[in-house]
Structure 1
Amino acid sequence: MNVKFLTRTAILLAITLIFQFLKMPQLITGSIVNAMLLIAAGTVGMWSGIIIGLLTPVIAFLVGIMGFPLMIPFIMVGNGLYVMLFSTQKNKVIGMIVGAVVKFIWLALSVKYIIQLFNVKVPLKIVQAFTFPQLITALMGGIVALIITAFLQNYFKTAKEG
């Protein structure tokens, strides 16, 4: 890790947290957070996106945005899978789609089955939030990220040449 990596990751994390603090509906906030994960991965590197994906659910809980702490490790894994699958594919569109589907399946299974293995009653509102909306927000955020990342990569390339 170098100063550029840390600085860019910190800036992207701060932007992500600002959107979380606005407490907009899940469709908007989730899409933006997912976009930021892939923007970080696409412009700074896979580990930048993973770091942001690990920190955002913890911070969301600590500041009272998320009220079901048992989901934190599952969200962290889902975010990590989303970023890794995006980052490791040459075709970023395919990587984003596969990452979105895997994240959705992981979170849906987690909230419906894994947590229930621990004999925890999961509120219906939480189950609903961590099933189909996760696919929609990952895909919407992924589309936004692909557009912004392409623009930023072009900008960085032009800036180096100029």
Structure 2
Amino acid sequence: MKSNNRVLWISNTAVFIALLIVLQAATTPLGNPLITGSIVNMLLIISVMVCGLSSGVCVAILSPVAAKFFGIGPLISIIPLIALGNLTLVLIWYFLGNQKKHDMYTLLSGAFAKYLVLYISIVKFAVPVLLQLPEKQASIISNMFSISQLITALLGGILALIVYPRLKKAKMGGD
């Protein structure tokens, strides 16, 4: 990577990480995880579409860490699993999302894959096997990583499909 490209990558990735932190901090007090989750998923998708895979990976991994910092991440022990779900979304959007004719396919594939990764790894494995939590806490965490993850990934993808073309147009100087 050339020096100018490296600086551009660092600055663009830093912007997405800053947006992630600011928007998580701004939306968390609203008390609606669907809003925060949808915005986070939108930023994950846009970061990979605008800046590339390595940027998307950085944002995907830092997202659950930032969420924990703001008190919206459940347990530190499942941060790697949340990052894995985020990485799944980023990888699908990277490999499929660059093909315009596959926007809906990418949206559905990415959302469903992230949901499955989180549901299987957290609800079906971590909660009952690894964490051995009291029933009430196990139920809360299981609910957090069930269907709401599919909904926020779908909404985040829809938002990304609306915002990304405008960012691309602005980046290209109005073309």
Give the TM-score taking structure 2 as reference length. Answer: 0.85
Structure 2 residue runs of 5 or longer lacking an equivalent are: none
- Between the aligned partners of 1:20 and 1:120, the Cα distance in structure 2 is 29
- Between the aligned partners of 2:132 and 2:8, the Cα distance in structure 1 is 43
After superposition, residues 16-35 of structure 1 pair within 5 angstroms as 16-22=20-26, 23=28, 24=30, 25-35=32-42
- Between the aligned partners of 2:49 and 2:169, the Cα distance in structure 1 is 12
Tell me if structure 2 keeps the 8 A contact 1:86–1:92.
Answer: no
Matched to 2:55, the amino acid is S
- For the residue of structure 2 that corresponds to 1:158, the secondary structure is coil
Kindly indicate whether residue 141 of structure 2 is the aligned counterpart of residue 130 of structure 1: no
Aligned to 2:8: 4
Aligned residues: 160
In structure 2, the CA distance between the partners of 1:158 and 1:134, relative to structure 1 (3 Å rule), is same
Q: Residue by residue, what CA displacement relative to the aligned partner does 1:27-86 show, whole Å, maximum 9, x if unpaired?
A: 100000000001111111122111101001112223433232222111100000101011
- Between the aligned partners of 1:47 and 1:96, the Cα distance in structure 2 is 20
Aligned to 1:72: 79
Deviation at 1:126, TM superposition (A): 1.2
Aligned to 1:141: 156
In structure 2, the CA distance between the partners of 1:11 and 1:120, relative to structure 1 (3 Å rule), is same
Kindly indicate whether residue 91 of structure 2 is the aligned counterpart of residue 54 of structure 1: no
- Between the aligned partners of 2:117 and 2:74, the Cα distance in structure 1 is 20
- Between the aligned partners of 1:135 and 1:83, the Cα distance in structure 2 is 15
Deviation at 1:100, TM superposition (A): 0.7
| RMSD across aligned positions (CA) | 1.6
Deviation at 1:118, TM superposition (A): 1.9
Tell me if structure 2 keeps the 8 A contact 1:49–1:83.
Answer: yes
Aligned to 1:100: 111
Q: Residue by residue, what CA displacement relative to the aligned partner does 1:108-136 show, whole Å, maximum 9, x if unpaired?
A: 11222211222522521111111000000
Instruction: Specify which of 109, 113, 116 is matched with residue 124 of structure 2.
Output: 113
